[in-house]
């Protein structure tokens, strides 16, 4: 089992004698530039829907369609954003999504780290049972558990509340995160603990002051994966907000907006931009970690 976020080895094969920009070098590189050109076309096609959406959010209703594939609006109409933000409550939905996501991520990281830690480094009665149950339920789809989840939330008085949504989101399938922590903690050397215990560390300070700081790479991966899953969650927020429109998250709000307002296309585009912008920005800033995290989870 490898560590999760080992920096990728640089694969550059340039050697000291390798002169750049000589005729021979350029000719040798030519095929690569052709491939790059082909990929550039594909990549543009890939991000085109986003560009189109941003441009549509700045056009008026007529222009959205009149201008067809064109990306530049005649003169940008920022009102669309104002309409989506206040009238269509996307400001509120953004707030709900941020609250739900942040609390869920914190809960998932803390509980998965604690569970992964004790499962990895202690042998105790019941350990095999806990592990067995976790692994046996690794594949359970949301569609399978959703009805009892709603039922039990209702009985606990948590349906139609953000608390209920957060608990359901952080209580469900996060087995993969526990297993990531487990794998990481298991390969740490035992001397670490021995040294800490000699220094007088108890159970808690061993975990918080020695183990958790060591596990920052896994924590980053779990944080990002949970963040993505929660920010994008749809099924649970949908059924948890049936009778409370003010608690909708962005994705549920977007669906409702279309249902109520299927002619306001530029408003919809603005709402979509509001919904996607935070996560896209975060991704662009942290993209290396996103990618390494997913790759690391597979390499295991």
Partner 1 sequence: MDTPTRPGRSRPPRHREQGRTTLWIWLFLTPTVVLYGVYTVYPIFASYWFSFVEWNGFEETKTWVGLRNYREVLADPLFWSSFKITALFTVAAVPVKVFLSLLVALLLNSPKLPLRNLFRTAFFLPVVTTTAIVGVVMQIVFDPADGPVNQLLMKLGLVDQGVNFLGDSSTALWTVVGVYVWKWFGVTLIYWLAALQTISDEVYEAAEIDGAGPVAMLRNITLPLLKPFTIIITLLTLEATLKVFDLMLTMTNGGPFFSTEVVEIYIYRWAFAATVPQLGFASAAAVLFGLFVCALGLLQLLGIRAARKTGGSR
Span 220-239, contacts to partner 1 by CB under 8 A: 228, 231-232, 234-235, 239
Smallest gap from Cβ 295 to partner 1, in A, equals 4
Name the 3-class secondary structure at 22: coil
- 170 binds partner 1, rule: CB under 8 A: yes
Please identify, among the stretches 15-23, 75-83, 214-222, 264-272, the one whose residues bind partner 1 according to the rule CB under 8 A.
264-272
Quick one: tokens of 252?
């549920």
Closest contact distance (angstroms) between CB of 126 and partner 1 is 8
Candidates 15-23, 79-87, 115-123, 214-222 — which segment interacts with partner 1 by CB under 8 A?
Answer: 115-123
Listed residue (64, 49, 54, 47) closest to 277, CA to CA: 54
Task: Give me the least distance between CB of 78 and partner 1, in Å please.
Answer: 20
Name every residue whose Cβ is closer than 8 Å to that of residue 95 and which is 6 or more positions away in sequence. Answer: none
15: tokens are 């050697």
Q: Give the distance between the most distant pair of CA atoms in the chain.
A: 75
Binding segment for partner 1 among 15-23, 72-80, 141-149, 212-220 (CB under 8 A)? 141-149
Q: Which stretch binds partner 1 (CB under 8 A): 15-23, 29-37, 74-82, 212-220?
A: 29-37
Q: Give kind and range of the element (H or E) at residue 298.
A: helix 265-299
Q: What sections of the chain are H helices per DSSP?
A: 23-56, 61-66, 79-82, 90-121, 127-136, 142-155, 162-171, 175-186, 191-198, 203-205, 212-214, 216-231, 235-240, 250-260, 265-299
- CA dihedral in degrees (89, 254, 144, 171; nearest 10)? -40
21 is a contact residue toward partner 1 (CB under 8 A): no
Q: Is 131 in the site for partner 1 (CB under 8 A)?
A: yes
Instruction: Out of 99, 102, 173, 212, point to the residue binding partner 1 (CB under 8 A).
Output: 173
CA 11 → CA 7, 8, 14, 15, 188, distances in Å?
12, 9, 9, 12, 28
- The region of 15-23, 80-88, 140-148, 214-222 touching partner 1 under the rule CB under 8 A is 140-148
Considering only residues 100, 109, 112, 215, which one is a binding residue for partner 1 as defined by CB under 8 A? 112
247 lines the binding site for partner 1 (CB under 8 A)? no
The total number of residues written for the chain in this structure: 300
CA 28 to chain centre: 40
Distance CA 107, CA 171 (A): 9
Map the footprint of partner 1 across residues 185-224, applying CB under 8 A. 186, 190, 193-194, 197, 203-204, 207
Residue 101 and residue 210: Cα distance in Å, rounded?
27
According to the binding rule CB under 8 A, does residue 270 interact with partner 1? no
Q: Provide φ and ψ at 132, rounded to 5°.
A: -60, -45
Does position 8 interact with partner 1 (CB under 8 A)? The reply is: yes
x/- string (CB under 8 A) for partner 1, residues 47-86?
Answer: x-xx-xx--x-------xx--xx-----------------
Q: Which is nearer to partner 1, 39 or 216 (CB)?
A: 39
Q: How far is the CB of 246 from partner 1 (least distance, A)?
A: 18
Residues touching partner 1, count (CB under 8 A): 110
């Amino acid at each position: 089992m490898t560590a999760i976020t080992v920096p990728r080895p640089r694969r550059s094969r340039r050697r000291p004698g390798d002169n750049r920009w000589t005729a021979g070098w350029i000719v040798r590189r030519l095929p690569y530039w052709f491939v790059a050109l082909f990929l550039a076309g594909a990549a543009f096609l890939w991000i085109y829907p986003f560009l189109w959406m941003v441009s549509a959010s700045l056009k008026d209703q007529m222009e959205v369609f009149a201008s067809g594939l064109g990306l530049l609006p005649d003169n940008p109409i920022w009102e669309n954003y104002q309409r989506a933000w206040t009238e269509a409550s996307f400001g509120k939905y953004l707030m709900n999504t941020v609250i739900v996501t942040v609390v869920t991520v914190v809960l998932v990281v803390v509980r998965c780290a604690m569970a992964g830690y004790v499962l990895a480094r202690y042998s105790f009665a019941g350990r095999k049972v806990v592990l067995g149950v976790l692994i046996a339920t690794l594949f359970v789809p949301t569609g399978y558990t959703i009805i009892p989840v709603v039922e039990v939330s209702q009985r606990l008085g948590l349906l139609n509340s953000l608390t209920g949504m957060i608990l359901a989101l952080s209580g469900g399938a996060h087995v993969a995160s526990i297993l990531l922590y487990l794998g990481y903690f298991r390969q740490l050397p035992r001397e670490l603990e021995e040294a800490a215990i000699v220094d007088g560390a108890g159970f808690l300070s061993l975990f918080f002051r020695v183990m958790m700081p060591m596990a920052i790479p896994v924590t980053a991966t779990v944080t990002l994966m949970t963040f993505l899953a929660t920010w994008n969650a749809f099924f649970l927020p949908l059924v948890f907000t049936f009778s409370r429109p003010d608690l909708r998250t962005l994705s549920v709000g977007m669906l409702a907006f279309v249902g109520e307002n299927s002619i306001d296309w530029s408003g919809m585009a603005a709402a979509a931009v509001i919904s996607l912008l935070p996560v896209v920005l975060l991704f662009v800033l942290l993209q290396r970690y996103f990618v390494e995290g997913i790759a690391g989870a597979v390499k295991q």
